[in-house]
Structure formats: C-alpha cells, structure tokens
Amino acid sequence: MADGQEGANDPPLDCEELKDDGELALALLATEHPDMKRFGKVVFDNVKATNDLLNVCTPWLELKADDFPEAALETSHLVQVTAGALLKELEKLDSMDLDEMKPAWGDKATVRMARKTAIGFSQKVMDRLDRMQAVLAAPAARLKREQVEAASKKAAEKATTETATSKESELC
C-alpha cells in the first residue's frame, strides 16, 4: 500500500488468487467423515469469497487511505464476515471428536491427517483475510466516520428546517 497505510513491518497484501494445490482435495477424498466433508465445502466457498474480495481490493492497492472508494467500507465488512465464518468452522473442525468414529469414515490417523491438512490450508485463507482487513482498516474507519458526520449534518439540517417551518406556522 502506498503512503504508510500499513505498518512498516507488515507484508504487502498478496492479491494472487488462492487455490488448492490438490493437497486439500486429496485429504478430503481420503475420508468420509461428515464433519470433514462439510468443512471441505465451507472452506472452498470461503476461498471463492476471499478471491472475490481480493479482486475488489486489487485496484485500490496504490491508493492513499483517504482515496479509497466508499465500497471499501462494505468490502471491509464482508472481509470480517468471511473471516468470522471461516474461524467458526475451524473451531468446529478442531473440536471434532475422533474417538467417535465410524469405520466407514476411514481410520483415525487418516481423518486426523485430513483435518491437519484442512486446518493448514484454512490458515492460509485466514492469513489473507487478516492482511486484507489490515489494509482496509484505516480507509473503512474514515468512511464510517464520514457517514456518521453526514448523517448528523443531515439530521441537524432537518431539525433546523422543521423548527423554521413550525415557527412560520405559529406566525400565521
């Protein structure tokens, strides 16, 4: 980012499309555990959402924080929602009880390895979402402040107009 929007030690936002190199897909094929299957769908949905958000952010990378468009506020919110949803699913996956396995789901070691692979891939997605949120934080705060100020100004103008109208009515 240009003009000090990020900390001096922060890496730049990597806008390259996230994709599975096949390792996650293979891990998900190795087990029939329903929690792993559900998580696989969720993580791939989150990868698509993250890639869409990265595509939105890419044109803004050379802008100063003050020059980000209003869409940055909504994009920041969507990044937070996407990260929150993925984190919630990661917590579910991490708390999966491997002692209550059915033989049809695969052996415990295979499911454990598939889970480890899924968590590792998801962490890459979370890292990208965290960086995106860091990039959008200052512009989103500015845009939110501007929205609040504009709403306050509009409310004050409306109150002034209503007061003037009511005084005119009293005079008539």
Burial of 143 per CB tally in 10 Å (0-12, 13-18, 19+):
buried
The predicted-structure confidence for 66-92, as pLDDT tens digits, reads as follows: 899 999 999 999 999 999 999 999 999
- The amino acid at residue 137 is A
| Residue-level pLDDT at 157 | 75
This prediction has a pTM of 0.80
The predicted-structure confidence for 118-166, as pLDDT tens digits, reads as follows: 999 999 999 999 999 999 999 999 999 988 988 887 877 777 776 766 6
C-beta of residue 56 within 8 angstroms of C-beta of residue 75: yes
* Nearest one of 158, 137, 139 to 147, comparing CA atoms: 139
DSSP 107: -
Which domains, and CATH codes, for the chain?
A: 23-146 (1.20.58)
Burial 10-20 (b: 16+ CB within 10 A, else e): eeebebeebeb
C-beta of residue 60 within 8 angstroms of C-beta of residue 28: no
The predicted-structure confidence for 27-78, as pLDDT tens digits, reads as follows: 999 999 999 999 999 999 999 999 999 999 999 988 887 899 999 999 999 9
* Nearest one of 145, 151, 134 to 11, comparing CA atoms: 134
